[in-house]
Structure 1
């Protein structure tokens, strides 16, 4: 499978869970997305599990953002396994119809995403193995990481501002996603500048 397919798959899974987390915390649950339920916090609050639901939503935002921006596909994909499994158990215990099947498909897509990283997992079964990751890994700069983290932080800032102004909340969230994607350009600029300095 080519890289474009995995990038698209990562972005799809990322959007799915990032938006699912944002809609749970956004003012009036007025956020884009296609899976729910948006009112999970309120539903689980009846069982004194409101804080747990907020934790789930926050985790969905972080993990989804990792995959949506495609900067940390491997880490996001690994973290998504227990996330989906956790939500799956909740939906089954609450006897929600349909949702467990959707989550099972998403879990399968996540395993498909992680399949490209199988060389990374082989040493878990044979710790003496020596392997090279140069074919998969790409250079990332500290400055790029910082830009990405600012974009992630803006998601939670957007949630807070959404209670003051929905439009401002959407704008801040959009800028944050854009920063996460532009972090790759920051990496290229950083390494190009470093290479230029060394060649002098």
Structure 2
């Protein structure tokens, strides 16, 4: 893991680390409450920005966007000054505790990637697989999404519960390669008014 000040996380990783839904994080970026670095498709968030996200996650919908922007600015300036607490009106945000919690979650995510996931060009063209197997991570995650039980997967594919959980988590925080599948829209036949 790189130094905390330099660590940049994607929106799905930020969702995993902070507990706020990815769509809500995207809304915060689109409303210019927080800043991301990089183009819209590959938004990267610093750990210091995640402190704000983690702080407002439980009650984000009750706060006005202008207040959230003030809160984000207060957290950013407190982090820049090295303060332990950011104060906004009557709110206080404990920066160190939230930052330590975020870094702990991120360390768990990195440990999961290093322990259970690998990619080798010689195996399935470099697709992500579970270490020590030739089983693609996405297959395991898709089985879970489609209703297979962990017990069935453990017995059929001879995987451990930790490997299954790692595959599901990895699939959630890592975007798939290639073009997204076409979504078929439900089209009804229109009847003319004549």
**TM-score with structure 1 length normalisation?**
0.27
Larger Rg: 2
Larger proportion of helix = 1
Which structure is richer in relative contact order (CA contacts within 8 A, separation 6 or more)? 1
User: TM-score, length-normalised on structure 2?
Assistant: 0.28
Higher normalized strand content (fraction of residues): 2
